[in-house]
Structure 1
Amino acid sequence: MAFISYHPATGTEVTRLNTLSAAELEQRVQQSQLAAQTWRQSSVSDRSALLNRLASLLSANRERLAMCMTREMGKLLNEALAEVDRCALECNYFATQGPAMLPLARSMNTFEPMGSVLLLSSWRFPLWQVFRVLAPTLMAGNAVLLKLAENLPLCAREIESLLTEADAPNGLVFSLLITKPQVASLIIDTRVKALAFSGNREDASRVAALAGQQLKPIVLELDETELHVILDDADLNLAVAAALRSRFRNAGQLGHAARGFMVAPGIADSFVTKLSAQLAEWQPGDPEQLVSTLGPLATQMQRDELHFQVQAALADGAQAVVGCELPAGAGWYYPASLLDWVHPQMTVFRQQLSGPLACVLRAPNVEAIIDMCQGLGPDGTVSIWTRNIAQGEQLARQLPFGTCLINREPCQDKGYRSQSGLMAEGHFSIRAFCHTKTLRVSA
């Protein structure tokens, strides 16, 4: 099997890289184990120094790294540049703040690194979903085995090159081009001590089941339901701006993107008119150009699936307001699209969307909104837009979602969930892959 890198803007193959053989994978796992044993003895100053070097390299190579993401998954160049900058800031943060989060070695209570950690990362944010875990995990004294999505072999190679250039110890971080059966074998390998996973719930359940059989710690970042409820008295400008950010960032390829917009009757026509006018200005363009507002989707299969859902919704009574048609020409582009008169039973609403499509569900009253939301929680998030805070709070208490926000966007403070939770300011927990060690001395 080969990992093939395509350019989503043209649909052409860029390169293909071979899967690691069983012998090559075994060699890397052995090296990772040895590196973890050595790195756990390193000083916090040495760990901070490595993260600072990584931050400097990320900043120094931001254009090249951003272009790699743009050419491999279609991300707009300005979004890719911001992602690189965010990764550099995260490395700097844990280089500076990390030592204070880990008690001194002579303390009676310390947090000891577990060893080699397997990170299974999705394709939506090729660098950020790696570095947000990588920085605190290295700072804690662990080694990392990294498996990116199959459509990102060049990004995986870039990450490994960065670690080499930063003078990371040999074997401390490996990017693995391996198959799903090889991933399964790694999960049950006793030398892999813990896992982090980002992606959909179906894949997460399989990964967690394998990890659970070995009683291995696992932290998850899962796709989840998000919804916007826009009441008659909402600030229309704020609601539309939030809709654009939550549904169309990263070409709508977000695990936490808003699934739909439930709109009260008094504001529905105005909301659709204003949102459609904004979307008409979002024209697909070359993602390498900073002026472009909408890039291609990451894979052809993803675009085909999105269009199939749109066609099924139209056949079932939804109305296309903007877009909703496959464009001619090369590349895996899809126009910024808006479907009106969507019903809760439609697949386009019930399933997670990955693409630049917004769905409007018209609700005749608040009671109908509550009914339409049944069965969507409790793992989801809803944003309620209203000028009447008391009314918004009352509605929130009747909805099934685990998180209810009023005049606030769901995309804020998203991330991995584990027993150790998130650190302050939404950072990944530096103690997620540590054992608590207690020392008691009797005379």
Structure 2
Amino acid sequence: MTTFISYHPASGAEVERVDTLSAAELERRVQQNALAAREWRHCAFAERSGLLNRLASLLSANRERLALTMTREMGKLVTEALAEVDRCARECTYFAAHGQAMLPLARSMTTFEPMGTVLLLTSWRFPLWQVFRMLAPTLMAGNAVLLKLAENLPLCAREIASLLAEAGAPDGLVFNLPIDKPQVATLIADVRVKALAFSGNREDARRVAALAGRQLKPIVLELDETELHVILDDADLELAVEAALRSRFRNAGQLGHAARGFMVTPGIADDFVARLSARLSELQPGDPEQGASTLGPLATRLQRDELHLQVQAALADGALAVAGCELPAGEGWYYPASLLDRVQPEMEVFRRQLSGPLACVIRVPSLEAISGLCQELGPDGTVSIWTRELAQGEQLARRLPFGHCLVNMDPYQGKGYPSGCHPASEGRFNIKAFCHLKTLLVSI
């Protein structure tokens, strides 16, 4: 039997062990969830919005406790954790207020009917947000949800279950499932599971999507994507460096959309590296529960080890360590704010998605070289181009393959989240994502 273990990343100490569900208990939860789904789809919108408003109130009322749970289990700074709780509360209130208008039903010949039970598989980067950004619209649409959180988040899963119970969610409407990979595969094939949502890396997504495809079940994927910053010779260095910090070092660099690298042209490269290095010296690893800390530990020991192996391989291949890049002594899974210069495009540290506080600078000789290097990286990604010559920035953006191109714009707008990741009726986890389109024709 698999055991899920909660560790304290700041010390490396084990906190708690949670066994996977037995086959009998898994069956009981799935059956109860299926029954709850049948009843919930017929509940009035007022009842659905009431649940979401109560969840929002509970999130706000318990924000400090919830933030500390995330900090102690995943390692993120408590200030970032508080912002995540607040964002979850706003998501709930948004769909509580606007969800009914997004799903016209009364006297409509075309309606959106809930599918039933939706299985959500999440990663560990944002323990609450990755749940509530899907949970709020999905519940408002009339669906039930089964949650499979990352294996290192059993305490966060328990907090979510407590919030739902205290908010008065019907029994079985949302269940947390501490289950292993074979159990997940079995659950995907279960006829009572009507659709899936997945958040994480592409390798795992391929396996999950293949299992869903065999059953012809719809699946919504939120995948790790490429993000690059291109800093041209005439860029405003202050703006570019601040954007680099937000794009690479939020959440200790543990993001699916964090900047993979910084392509810098020759005339500004030395200044950019010097300024970024100076700012990184301000990011010192510290207790993530203290509001003054600027860099928390990584979520798992394995993640830190993999990051350091990537750094060592890049150094062996000719990259230069400008800041950090060494394993610190002491307890916990900390890694210093690190900067590699003269990274080459073929290096694994650039080719693979990074998960940790490491920035890579790739020096490129020309705009043509930038365009050539980027062609194989799109279109699922974002590029931020920094230049005072807007026409040049726009021309380059049009030549690059990415689906999201910004010129002199910070993709995180100083808020810690990418632009576009806000409550909306359309988008990846919109309220219609897990609804069937139903047409009603009446002969007269």
Q: Contact 1:337/1:358 (CA < 8 Å) preserved in 2?
A: yes
Query: Following the alignment from structure 1 to structure 2, what is the Cα–Cα distance between the partners of residues 426 and 66?
Result: 27
Could you say which residue in structure 2 is the equivalent of 1:413? 419
Alignment of 1:22-421 (within 5 A): 22-411=23-412, 412-413=418-419
Query: Following the alignment from structure 1 to structure 2, what is the Cα–Cα distance between the partners of residues 244 and 45?
Result: 43
Could you say which residue in structure 1 is the equivalent of 2:7? 6
* Greater mean alpha carbon deviation, residues 180-189 or residues 369-378: 369-378
SS in 2 for 1:397: helix
Query: Following the alignment from structure 1 to structure 2, what is the Cα–Cα distance between the partners of residues 301 and 54?
Result: 34
Query: Following the alignment from structure 1 to structure 2, what is the Cα–Cα distance between the partners of residues 196 and 66?
Result: 24
Query: Following the alignment from structure 1 to structure 2, what is the Cα–Cα distance between the partners of residues 103 and 369?
Result: 47
Q: What do residues 96-123 of structure 1 show as CA deviations (whole Å, max 9, x unaligned)?
A: 0111111134422211100000000110
Query: Following the alignment from structure 1 to structure 2, what is the Cα–Cα distance between the partners of residues 387 and 415?
Result: 27
Could you say which residue in structure 2 is the equivalent of 1:20? 21
Query: Following the alignment from structure 1 to structure 2, what is the Cα–Cα distance between the partners of residues 187 and 207?
Result: 8
Query: Following the alignment from structure 1 to structure 2, what is the Cα–Cα distance between the partners of residues 373 and 331?
Result: 37
SS in 1 for 2:99: helix
Query: Following the alignment from structure 2 to structure 1, what is the Cα–Cα distance between the partners of residues 195 and 52?
Result: 21
Offset, 1:38? 0.3
Q: Contact 1:381/1:403 (CA < 8 Å) preserved in 2?
A: yes
Q: Classify 1:259/1:173 alpha carbon distance in 2 versus 1 (closer, same or farther; 3 Å).
A: same
SS in 1 for 2:436: strand
Q: Contact 1:221/1:415 (CA < 8 Å) preserved in 2?
A: no
Q: Contact 2:147/2:175 (CA < 8 Å) preserved in 1?
A: yes
Offset, 1:262? 0.4
Offset, 1:17? 0.9
- Alignment root-mean-square deviation, CA: 1.3
Which residue identity lines up with residue 124 of structure 1 in the other structure? R
* Greater mean alpha carbon deviation, residues 391-400 or residues 39-48: 391-400
Identity of aligned residues (%): 78
Q: What do residues 79-112 of structure 1 show as CA deviations (whole Å, max 9, x unaligned)?
A: 0001001000110000001111111344222111
Offset, 1:215? 1.1
Could you say which residue in structure 1 is the equivalent of 2:415? none
SS in 2 for 1:207: helix
Offset, 1:369? 1.5
Query: Following the alignment from structure 2 to structure 1, what is the Cα–Cα distance between the partners of residues 43 and 358?
Result: 49
SS in 2 for 1:383: strand
Normalising by structure 2, report the TM-score.
0.97
Query: Following the alignment from structure 1 to structure 2, what is the Cα–Cα distance between the partners of residues 40 and 374?
Result: 46
Offset, 1:61? 0.6
SS in 1 for 2:410: coil
Offset, 1:18? 1.1
Q: Contact 2:314/2:343 (CA < 8 Å) preserved in 1?
A: yes
Q: Contact 1:284/1:294 (CA < 8 Å) preserved in 2?
A: yes
Query: Following the alignment from structure 1 to structure 2, what is the Cα–Cα distance between the partners of residues 259 and 121?
Result: 22
Query: Following the alignment from structure 1 to structure 2, what is the Cα–Cα distance between the partners of residues 425 and 113?
Result: 16
Offset, 1:424? 5.0
Offset, 1:379? 1.6
Query: Following the alignment from structure 1 to structure 2, what is the Cα–Cα distance between the partners of residues 268 and 14?
Result: 45
Offset, 1:410? 3.6
SS in 2 for 1:437: strand
Query: Following the alignment from structure 1 to structure 2, what is the Cα–Cα distance between the partners of residues 23 and 415?
Result: 39
Offset, 1:423? 3.2
Offset, 1:426? 6.1
Q: Contact 1:132/1:427 (CA < 8 Å) preserved in 2?
A: no
Q: Contact 1:337/1:356 (CA < 8 Å) preserved in 2?
A: yes
Q: Contact 1:224/1:379 (CA < 8 Å) preserved in 2?
A: yes
Q: Contact 1:381/1:404 (CA < 8 Å) preserved in 2?
A: yes
SS in 2 for 1:338: strand
Count the aligned residue pairs: 438
Offset, 1:68? 0.4
Dislocated runs of 4+, deviation >3 Å: 413-416, 422-427
Could you say which residue in structure 2 is the equivalent of 1:419? none
Q: What do residues 180-237 of structure 1 show as CA deviations (whole Å, max 9, x unaligned)?
A: 0101111111100001100011111111111111111111100011100000011101
Offset, 1:425? 8.3
Query: Following the alignment from structure 2 to structure 1, what is the Cα–Cα distance between the partners of residues 39 and 285?
Result: 49
SS in 1 for 2:399: coil
